[in-house]
Structure 1
Amino acid sequence: MSTADSRIIYTHTDEAPMLATASFLPILEAFASTAGIHVETRDISLAGRIVAAFSDLLPEDQREADALAELGELAKTPEANIIKLPNISASVPQLKAAIAELQGLGIALPDYPESPSTDEERDVRARYDAVKGSAVNPVLREGNSDRRAPQAVKNFARKHPHRMGAWSADSKTSVATMGHDDFRSNEQSVVMEQDDTLSIVEVLADGSETVLKQAIPVLAGEVVDSTTMSASALDRFLAEQIAAAQERGVLFSVHLKATMMKVSDPILFGHVVRAFFPDVFARYGEQLAAAGLSANNGLGGILAGLDALDPETAQGVREGIERGLAEGPELAMVNSDKGITNLHVPSDVIIDASMPAMIRTSGHMWGPDGGEHDTLAVIPDSSYAGVYAATIEDCIAHGAFDPTTMGTVPNVGLMAQKAEEYGSHDKTFEIAEAGRVEVRSSGGQVLMSHDVAPGDVFRACQAKDAPIRDWVSLAVSRSRLSGMPAVFWLDETRAHDRNLIAKVTAYLAEEDTDGLDLRILAPAEATTHTLERVRRGEDTISVTGNVLRDYLTDLFPIMELGTSAKMLSVVPLMAGGGLFETGAGGSAPKHVQQLIEEDYLRWDSLGEFLALAESLRHLARTTDNARAAVIADALDRATETLLNEGKSPQRRLGTIDNRGSHFYLALYWAQELARQTEDAELAAAFAPLAQELADDEETIAAELLAVQGRRADIGGYYRPDPARTAAVMRPSATLNRIIDEIGEAL
């Protein structure tokens, strides 16, 4: 057995996953050490990324290494074995809160400049902007995505189905989307014939030019897109939908992706806020802007910043908002009890989570009265709105899905090397002056061109040829291994998809596809086809681009399993390494609030367990570490026992929480290692440890339960104190002692 390269990198992230790590990591380190595996951590939390971005400007004792950049380079090597937990995809309000907390700890960070006017401020803003949104995933994802529900999880969901709200045939819930003058309808796309360096230039009415993006390296075969969203058309559309929601007596809700689309979607969100409160912005828009209060940051940011205005103006804004809420359609709520609306924070209502949750809950969202109501779901861009519209139509026609019988929908997603919209952030611009935006080759040839007006949003993105080829090959491989048919969700009427269809057709011809059912369908049609199969209990692989990968790996798991956090998410890296993601459940800020208030963490680490098993198997294959495979198989069996015994975290005090689930996983894992026969030395070492954990079960459970119901002090939110966090998350002295003994057993 060679353990020379037996190293796993476990990422330190944010919020609930970060707290869970403080409890689970000691267990992981102890069990892994028995196979000679070293577990190392890297801090890619929002706070860590902020400090790293400014380390060259900070005093030497405050500097921190850029762990994300390090892992990005590691992901391009065959040695990579990275377990990536969910992290904050920061909106501006979150970013500012994290900056303030770090400054409070004495770290000499500059304030976030809302309107940079000097070179120094522009540099500061660029550094902070590089941390915003989905800054982590594009760096680490040097491979395409393979997401699926493990069989044990699917079996458990069928035996213990989650609640699905009943649908009425009279439901008034629907989706509204633009369908014209939006990103989809204005899209242009080219395939590069040779390597080049492109530029994005706006030609103004007087013939002068403004360079928006100087140098964009592209490779031969790369698909490059550009498109625009008309601000005036968006405003007309939003006004129409606000009126329609009021006329129909349904909640008004907007569903965007202000985290992934960190430049474009906060701008669109701002348009919605202004459309809902037109009188406020007509009367006080200049004063709000002068005070740095932007609609793009949501209604909550404006209300929280009213102290920056003179008292009379602040009172007028407050009354205008109250009047808009009273006179307009009822708004969908994030938290009815606290008055937090759909328009308060752009990162509170993220489409890939909010739409499946609505579909699971009878097509309802929560209203101001705290009750469930039919909803108008406004999704401005029509690129993928049809997926949700088709799902809602299916539920109205056929009722809710049945988790005990429905099929499963794994996903193979194109995302390697910043493919598609994940790579669009540095090529997205809000247009200041009317003109024409051109994407040009290095020789000056205009490849794509769009007429634009002030306020329009332009964006471009890329997808390299090698990731596309790898994506097609992965889809074929998964179809053959699983025996499932696979559908490429591509629309020949969309410019980008036409180019992908040509590539998919060519690359499928190079693969062994005999006996496989492989199809290409437009997203809305693919949705209907897949849902028909799902209702018959049949399984179908969805093969999608990057954004749909994100959407579908929440939509179907939430319907199948009740959550997307229970999905197995493997990224076979193109260089031969592995990235193992721990589910798509986000970083769960509400869970942190409950921990602080009640010392109870309901975060479910199932995703971590599933990812760890795959990471161990990958390590066993690539480093000839047979013991790692034994530990992985035992972990999978322990995880299934955990599910069947009902030892996952519950939601209320007095029941098992995240820390308790870690104890029971350790117990079942030790028992499985003690009874396995592949490695006698390992079995002999774990037998007394398993017995000790079992004998002390009652004591450990009591120690874990005893802390519940009181406030917990972790010393911070974005950068909690490690010692305080460890004390909160490891409250059982008995369990801690036994875990510490495991590393000494072999």
Structure 2
Amino acid sequence: MRPVPKIIYTLTDEAPMLATHSLLPIVEAYAAPAGVEVETRDISLAGRVIAVFPDYLTEDQRIGDHLAELGELAKTPEANIIKLPNISASVPQLKAAVAELQAQGYALPDYPDEPRTDAEREIRARYDRVKGSAVNPVLREGNSDRRAPASVKAYARTNPHRMGEWSAESKTAVATMGADDFRSNEKSVIIEAEDTLRIEHVAADGQVTTLKDSLPVQAGEVIDATVMRAEALSAFLTEQVARAKRENILFSLHMKATMMKVADPIIFGHAVRAFFPDVFAQFGEQLQAAGLEPDNGLGGILSGIDALEPSTRDAVKEAIDAGLADGPRMYMVDDRKGITNLHVPSDVIVDASMPALIRNGGKGWGPSGEEDDTLAVIPDSSYAGVYQAVIEDCRAHGALDPTTMGSVPNVGLMAQKAEEYGSHDKTFEIETAGTVRIVDSSGATLIEHEVAPGDIWRACQTKDVPIRDWVKLAVTRARASGAPAVFWLDRERAHDANLITKVEAYLPEHDTEGLEIKILNPVEATTYSLERLRRGEDTISVTGNVLRDYLTDLFPILEVGTSAKMLSIVPLINGGGLFETGAGGSAPKHVQQLVAENYLRWDSLGEFFALVPSLEKYAEQASTPKAAVLAGALDRATATFLMENRSPGRKLGTIDNRGSHFYLAMYWAQELAQQTEDADLAAVFAPVAEQLTEKEETIVAELEAVQGQPADIGGYFRPDAAKATAVMRPSATLNAVLETLS
């Protein structure tokens, strides 16, 4: 007997989690009369931490491993998961979450930076399952179809967001290595038969150390490996610090230390060392002895500096201040609080920070609150050229115009952990000189690299089934939209060359007659797409996983002002559906504002968009036509919501996230009451629509009345459920109307 279909609404982190306390009760109330079952699963950072340490906790504190449960569900036709943005935890974030949980009474162990015992290594291994982009690889059992809904494009054209002016004299540029980096050293093979590989380090004296003893692979799978040279990286970063000083522009580092949870924090640490060479030359040993690693950022050093002897502490502070004064002006996260680009590895995430810089005319914020041209440092050259190409286009032609520009939807290869570069157990910081190699079960070497101490070596795998599905999805979208589809693949890069071989083999399996399908390297694809964008034409980008992540922020932020307003559907390979709700990059600031003044700016539009195809999927899975009626009404309500400009404002006294949810509920009820497809639902929602419409002024007043005072939610990483609900549902009138549906 097949399981009963359900919509699983995920509980995540920060602003999306808080918004859920307001929106989910509306969803549950509207779903009930249609017979749609909605359940929740906790995949928040705190929830994941709790799930991996049941033996440390009391019975009432334990929760199941909901992420693992959903990972299994995602492999079935019954899957119907609405996935909100998660924290992709850096080590500082993970430590902060653990400290908060400990303060709440959870007897969790501390995170061991340098485990020395078997027990500490086992604790570290559990935490390593939680940090970084731990959620997405588990749930993404399908490839990505991400695009701007027609209603969003229409709204953006009539209500364009601000675009900064570009000057032809702008000195803003991207700096990248181009040699001795991941792209230049990459090697790739296609596996002929199912096997189990292993990764080994062979020292100069011939001693073999197994780095990973079991790496199962399937026939047709693409395996890659590469190395970034530490000596070259340090020299490159030192030169970029000097260049920014020489050119009198802001120095900025753009990484993905959350997704690339092993490699990028190491690179980040090299940048901290390069910016403050005197600090580490004088005090490196003392800092290391105190556990103050540059990989955790300047903020981690400053927050733990009291562990040093007072005289050393004061000297370190003076040396840091001198480094800030003597170096180039730094791109700031918060100039009012002195939070620099190098404070926290997870503060400046390349896929959000670079589009924001480009949208702002190539100008970043300096230490005195000034706007200025910026040197954007992206060490690995794999995709840095994409951003440089956009900068050059804007410098030559000016800012893009949201009122006329086209769109760049994306078909992304990400199923079954495809192209998870640097994010898990196949990335290593090399301790001793020698060779790292991948060998098959017969002992034959497939890939090898010479390595030196400090080098960063990584491998990744991309299975054949996801690649086939990716090609199929690209053709399907090109056929449905009529837009050209461009595979962003570089014939000069080892991994991409193997993917091109497969793409060229699989395209003839599909009807491509009359379709325009190209293969261009990322820089050429960027230029081609920008030319079409400026003519108001659409171009489908068909990309690997990392570029998918970058482009689905880059183009939406330029097109519609934010990536949170995108429709993101993941047709799961085995027939289910995963519906993602946009980006969470600004979520921390939103939480800070809520706590300070009871105002939540988070825009839940992504959740609205995701719910429509989820309900449509449910109607199909459960043979429940009423779910399709709910979906159609919600789609029309969302269009009205946009045209009436009911998204959260930016200032106190305007509607925030809670007010936007009320207006969605009102428009949704009105559409359900007016529709003629289902008389029963029309009858149920007619009085609801009438009450919400009549009481609009009262409800909005109740929602706005709480603004301006601090809000107590009982925790950042794990808010108290009762407190968060009280904060996020302050309108007794709205709550009473929703109660009538239950």
TM bracket (short chain): over 0.9
1:58 Cα offset (Å) = 3.0
Deviations along 1:212-236, whole A, 9 cap, x unmatched? 1110000000000000000000011
Classify the secondary structure of the residue corresponding to 2:116: coil
Deviation (angstroms), 1:56: 3.4
1:526 alignment partner in structure 2: 525
Tell me which residue corresponds to 1:357: 356
Q: Which residue of 2 aligns with 1:477?
A: 476
Check whether the contact 2:418–2:461 (CA below 8 A) recurs between aligned residues: yes
Partner of 2:603: 604
Alignment of 1:251 with 2:250, yes or no, is yes
Name 1:141's counterpart in structure 2: 140
The answer for the alignment partner of 1:206 in structure 2 is 205
Aligned residue number for residue 625 of structure 1: 624
How far apart in 2 are the matches of 1:704 and 1:276? 47
User: Residue by residue, what CA displacement relative to the aligned partner does 1:478-513 show, whole Å, maximum 9, x if unpaired?
Assistant: 110111110000000000000000000000011111
1:597 CA drift (Å): 0.3
| Contact kept? 2:646, 2:663, Cα under 8 Å | yes
Partner of 2:375: 376
CA shift digits 1:648-675 (9 cap, x unpaired): 1011100000000000000000000000
SS at match of 2:196: strand
Look up the equivalent residue of 2:88 and give its one-letter code.
S
Q: Hey, what's the Cα distance between the residues in 1 that align with 2:149 and 2:567?
A: 6
The aligned residue for residue 668 of structure 2 is: 669
Q: What is aligned with 2:638?
A: 639
Counterparts of 1:586 and 1:573, CA distance in 2: 25
Look up the match of 1:590: 589
- Give matches, 1:121-140, under 5 Å: 121-140=120-139
1:549-568 alignment to 2 at 5 Å? 549-568=548-567
Match of 2:511 in 1: 512
User: Can you list the C-alpha shifts for 1:40-87, whole angstroms capped at 9, x where unaligned?
Assistant: 000000000001011134333332100000000000000000000001
**Which residue number corresponds to residue 729 of structure 2?**
730
> Any conservation in 2 of the 1:144–1:416 contact (CA below 8 Å)?
yes
> 1:165 — aligned with what?
164
Deviation (angstroms), 1:623: 2.1
Equivalences for residues 227-246 of structure 1 within 5 A: 227-246=226-245
User: How much has 1:94 moved relative to structure 2?
Assistant: 0.6
Matched, 1:739 2:705: no
Q: Paired residue for 2:570?
A: 571
Q: Look up the SS of the partner of 2:740 in the other structure.
A: helix
Output aligned runs, 1:178-217, within 5 Å.
178-217=177-216
Q: After TM superposition, give the deviation of residue 353 of structure 1 in Å.
A: 0.3
8 A Cα contact 1:223 1:462, kept in partner: yes
- State the shift of 1:685 in Å: 1.4
Paired residue for 2:680? 681
Other-structure match for 2:366: 367
Offset at 1:625?
A: 1.2
CA gap of 1:423–1:684, structure 2 versus 1, over 3 A, is farther
Give per-residue Cα distances to partners, 1:534-553, cap 9 Å, x unaligned: 00000000000000000000
| Pair 1:177-2:176 in alignment | yes
Residue type at the aligned position of 1:282? A
Paired residues of 1:138 and 1:423 also in contact (CA < 8 A):
no
Whether contact under 8 Å (2:422, 2:458) holds in the other structure is no
Q: Could you tell me how far apart the structure 1 residues matched to 2:36 and 2:665 are? A: 17
For 1:5 and 1:610, how far apart are their aligned partners in 2? 24
Does the 8 Å contact 2:33/2:684 carry over to 1? no
Report the Cα distance in structure 1 between the residues aligned to 2:420 and 2:235, rounded to whole angstroms: 25
Say whether the 8 Å CA contact 1:424–1:461 is kept in structure 2: no
Report how far residue 357 of structure 1 moved. 0.2
Task: Give CA deviations for 1:80-110 in whole Å, capped at 9, x if unaligned.
Answer: 0000000100011110010011111111110
Look up the match of 1:539.
Answer: 538
SS in 2 for 1:210: strand
Letter in 2 for 1:729: M
Map 1:356-435 → 2, pairs under 5 A:
356-421=355-420, 424-435=423-434
CA distance in structure 1 between the aligned counterparts of 2:296 and 2:684, rounded to whole angstroms:
56
Taking only aligned residues, the RMSD between alpha carbons, in angstroms, comes to 1.1
Deviations 1:703-743 (A, max 9, x none): 00100000000111111110010000000000000011123
1:624 to partner: Cα distance = 1.6
Offset at 1:620?
1.3
In the other structure, the counterpart of 2:436 is: 437
C-alpha spacing 1:4/1:219, structure 2 compared with 1 (3 Å): closer
- Aligned counterpart, 2:14: 15
Give the conservation status (yes or no) of the 8 Å contact 2:188–2:223: yes
Matches within 5 A, 1:489-500: 489-500=488-499
Match of 2:465 in 1: 466
Asked if structure 2 preserves the Cα contact closer than 8 Å seen for 1:147 and 1:570, the reply is yes
Write out per-residue CA displacement over residues 307-326 of structure 1, whole angstroms, 9 at most, x where no aligned residue: 11111111111111100000
Q: Structure 2 CA distance, aligned partners of 1:240 and 1:720? A: 44
- Shift of the 116–482 alpha-carbon distance from structure 1 to 2, 3 Å rule, reads same
Does the 8 Å contact 1:424/1:459 carry over to 2? no
Gaps of 5+ in 1: none
Indicate the residue corresponding to 2:659 in structure 1: 660
C-alpha distance in 2 between matches for 1:93 and 1:363: 29
State the distance in 1 between where 2:73 and 2:155 align: 36
Q: Distance in 2 between matches of 1:115 and 1:685?
A: 60
For residues 236-315 of structure 1, the aligned pairs below 5 Å read: 236-315=235-314
Structure 2 match to 1:49:
48
Does structure 1 retain, via aligned residues, the 8 Å contact 2:16–2:584?
Answer: no
Distance 2:417 2:726 in 1: 39
Q: What is the rounded CA distance, in whole Å, between the counterparts of 1:53 and 1:62 in structure 2?
A: 12
Give me the whole-angstrom Cα distance separating, in 2, the residues matched to 1:92 and 1:388.
27
Partner of 1:96: 95
- Give the whole-Å Cα distance in 1 for the aligned partners of 2:576 and 2:33: 23
* Equivalent-residue separation in structure 2 for 1:293 and 1:687 (angstroms): 62
- Aligned mates of 1:477, 1:17 — CA distance in 2: 32
Alignment-mate amino acid for residue 26 of structure 1: P
Between the two proteins, the alignment pairs up a number of residues equal to 742
Deviation at 1:6, TM superposition (A): 4.2
> Counterpart amino acid of 1:430?
E
CA contact (8 A) 1:99 1:111 kept: yes
Look up the equivalent residue of 1:677 and give its one-letter code: T
- The amino acid across from 1:742 in the alignment is L
SS of corresponding position for 1:421:
coil
Letter in 1 for 2:722: A
State the Cα deviation string for residues 120-148 of structure 1 (Å, max 9, x = none). Answer: 00000111111111000000000000000
| Post-superposition CA distance 1:506-525 (Å, at most 9, x none) | 00011111110000000001
Amino acid at match of 2:314: Q
1:291-337 Cα shifts (integer Å, max 9, x gaps): 11110000011001111111111111111110000001100000111
Structure 2 Cα separation of the partners of residues 26 and 423 of structure 1: 38
Checking the alignment, whether the CA contact within 8 Å between 1:15 and 1:587 is kept in structure 2 is: no
Cα distance, 1:694 vs structure 2: 0.7
Work out the CA distance in 2 between the residues paired with 1:479 and 1:220.
29
Identity of aligned residues (%): 71
**1:425 partner SS:** coil
Residue 213 of structure 2 aligns to a residue in which SS? strand
1:223 maps onto 2:222 in alignment? yes
How many angstroms apart in 2 are the aligned matches of 1:164 and 1:580?
30
User: Relative to structure 2, which stretch is displaced further, 142-151 or 416-425?
Assistant: 416-425
Where 2:460 maps in the other structure, the secondary structure is strand
Provide the secondary structure at the position in 2 that maps to 1:376.
strand
